[in-house]
């Protein structure tokens, strides 16, 4: 299991890719973000986007799944105090394949919790054309190795 010391500033983890289907975009939209351009393919045609697009939260959720599978599930994670600077830069449409990567931006020991370190990570998600569709900065609390 990985600990705080295993997260070097500047390291990059390619987490994988996810292809968004119209069916899953609508299902997620209807359940969690029922705006017409996320949940109704017919109404979406007359939206400012000209068609169905994935909710930004759906794009984040797919990345969170990969983060958990690739990193958090193999680490002594103690949760997260939150995320910052979530940016949805381009719409994600049915058929788009989004590749996710995480860059370690900062790592420091906790000032208030002995045995705990914080890692700031930046997500970058790009579509099949290489265009950036999502960025966000997040924090992970991790157990430190006993010294």
Calculate mean pLDDT across residues 30-53: 97
pLDDT at 56: 98
Task: Judge contact between 57 and 132, C-beta under 8 A.
Answer: no
Closest CA to 137 of 92, 89, 103, 107: 103
pLDDT at 146: 74
The structure tokens listed for 125 are 């998600």
Calculate mean pLDDT across residues 51-59: 98
The structure tokens listed for 120 are 């700031």
Number of domains in the chain: 1
Domain, as residue range, for 97:
4-143
pTM > 0.85: yes or no? yes
User: Residue 147: is its pLDDT beyond 60?
Assistant: no
pLDDT at 66: 96
pLDDT tens sequence across 72-120: 999 999 999 999 999 999 999 999 999 999 999 999 999 999 999 999 9
What's the CATH code of the domain at 89?
3.10.129.10
User: Residue 36: is its pLDDT beyond 80?
Assistant: yes
pLDDT tens sequence across 5-29: 999 999 999 999 999 999 999 999 9
């Amino acid at each position: 299991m990985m600990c705080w010391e295993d997260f070097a500033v500047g390291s990059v983890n390619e987490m994988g890719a996810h292809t968004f289907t119209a069916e899953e975009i609508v299902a997620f939209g209807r359940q969690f973000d029922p705006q017409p351009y996320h949940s109704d393919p017919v109404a979406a045609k007359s939206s400012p986007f000209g068609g169905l697009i994935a909710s930004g939260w759906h794009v984040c959720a797919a990345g969170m799944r990969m983060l958990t599978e690739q990193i958090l599930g193999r680490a002594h994670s103690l949760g997260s105090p939150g995320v910052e600077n979530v940016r949805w830069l381009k719409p994600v449409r049915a058929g788009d394949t989004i590749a996710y990567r995480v860059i370690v931006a900062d790592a420091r020991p906790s000032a208030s919790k002995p045995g705990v370190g914080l890692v700031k990570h930046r997500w970058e998600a790009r579509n099949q054309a290489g265009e950036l569709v999502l960025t966000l900065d997040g924090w992970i609390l991790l157990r430190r190795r006993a010294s």
